[in-house]
Structure 1
Amino acid sequence: MTPPSTPPDTLEELQHRVNAIAGLSLGDLACSANIKVPANFKKEKGWTGQLIELWLGASAGSKPEQDFVNLGIELKTLPITTTGKVLETTYVCYAHLTGNAGLNWQNCNVRNKLQHVLWLPVIGQRNISPAQRQVGTGIFWQPNALQEQRLRHDWEEHMDNIALGNIESLSAKAGDVLQLRPKAADGSVVTDATGVDGQMIKTRPRGFYLRKNFTQEIIDCAFDR
């Protein structure tokens, strides 16, 4: 088995690719693709996602569009325990801190990314080596009306705070299901934002993240827990 050379043309083809890697280890997939498995993920945190993207034929990379743009589907790998407990928050997309005039929920990138998601659970417990971590059963998910309402409410509150110049005082504790927090390797990376008095300031870049309680609900519902 070798990785596909082109993106999937249909949902059925993507489903077939998802089924083909379910139950395999990251070591199996890496070996078949002639890729070295890192000893740990301290310096290669995105390695798992990149490996899965390769095997499924995702094409977007870091672009502000869905990973399978022709199908309108976003891919999200989800680290879980062997008992199905979600281990981490899920990065959604970069948060623009300036130039947001005319932006609303209907045309924002958070909604664009989350309108149809392929969740791919991967065993992520630290006591299991990267090579031995298994890929789980993929879940195709679209938010129901209540889920979208919860996402929209948090997104609008975050964007209001950005517009009002409250970015520096906005805690990662804000938001029921969607949080806004620094997205940079360290504090030396900064970007423009609006300050409390309307002046331009420098601050750390921010990203939108889904809380674990929200993705846990998705997993539990998919597997009738």
Structure 2
Amino acid sequence: MRPIKPHSINDLMQRVNNIAGLTLGQLANEYNFKTPDDLLREKGWTGQLIEYVLGATAGSKPLPDFEDLGIELKTLPISYKGKPLETTFVSVTPLINVTGMTWHASSVRKKLNHVLWLPILSERDIAPFDRTIGSGFLWQPTPEQDALLQRDWEEQMELIALGRIDEISGHLGDAIQIRPKAAHSKIVTDAIGPNGKIIKTLPRGFYLKTSFTGEILKQQFQL
């Protein structure tokens, strides 16, 4: 039977504490959750498992995973030394009709307003189902972090609005980067091109850089 959604933050954090120290395989077996043979083709499986067990309800909607609590869930693969192993996807990047968009009303800010981080020991020499779940914790951006995120968002969204999407690369931004997000290169979407004409390009997504999530971990665990 699917776990019901948590009715309070305390309820959610109790569930988080209950799964700390378990492997992904143990958790999947405990909840009879379908496990793929190969995670190379099922990259989202870890997040789906954790969402299921903790009772997240938003699914693919552009809302925090725990809608009633206003909390977004982010699993974070970490190394033996406690450092993030990859960037963290936040949301899809809008590429048309961006005039008038503001940071405070953006999907990125809504997603990052209150985050449940769940570190998972995910070194490449550990089989996916043997990867261990760490201690989850709640985080909200400090005023300084929010200002940094806002600056990155505004600078890159301005390039999109000016039809300069081809100038955006993963090197931009101190906290957030925009990168292509598509299963393969044949998937394209509309974007603003030079002279305001609509062009076809790869879908993009907002990602938190590992330097930014690494600082969050350092602050939480005094690493």
Q: By the TM > 0.5 criterion, same fold?
A: yes
RMSD (CA atoms): 1.1
Residue correspondence of structure 1 range 24-173 to structure 2 within 5 A: 24-173=22-171
* CA offset digits 1:18-76 (Å, max 9, x no partner): 00100001011111122343344210000000000011000111110000010010000
Q: Give the one of 194, 197, 204 matched to 2:195.
A: 197
Using the TM superposition, give the Cα deviation of residue 195 of structure 1 relative to its aligned residue in structure 2, in angstroms. Answer: 0.7
Using the TM superposition, give the Cα deviation of residue 102 of structure 1 relative to its aligned residue in structure 2, in angstroms. Answer: 2.3
Residue range with higher mean Cα deviation, 121-130 or 207-216 = 121-130
CA distance in 2, matches of 1:20, 1:10: 16
Q: Does the Cα contact within 8 Å between 1:119 and 1:141 map onto a contact in 2?
A: yes
Residue identity opposite 1:198 in structure 2: G
* CA offset digits 1:84-124 (Å, max 9, x no partner): 11100000000110112321011000000000000000111
Residue identity opposite 1:61 in structure 2: G
Secondary structure (helix, strand or coil) at the match of 1:197 reads helix
Identical residues among aligned pairs (%): 52
Q: Does the Cα contact within 8 Å between 1:122 and 1:134 map onto a contact in 2?
A: yes
Unaligned runs of 5+ in 2: none
Q: How many residues align?
A: 223
Using the TM superposition, give the Cα deviation of residue 3 of structure 1 relative to its aligned residue in structure 2, in angstroms. Answer: 5.6
Query: What is the TM-score of this pair, normalised by structure 2?
Result: 0.97
Query: What is the TM-score of this pair, normalised by structure 1?
Result: 0.96
Secondary structure (helix, strand or coil) at the match of 2:169 reads coil
CA distance in 2, matches of 1:9, 1:165: 44
Using the TM superposition, give the Cα deviation of residue 196 of structure 1 relative to its aligned residue in structure 2, in angstroms. Answer: 1.4
CA distance in 2, matches of 1:169, 1:148: 24
Q: Give the one of 200, 213, 216 matched to 1:215.
A: 213
Using the TM superposition, give the Cα deviation of residue 169 of structure 1 relative to its aligned residue in structure 2, in angstroms. Answer: 2.2
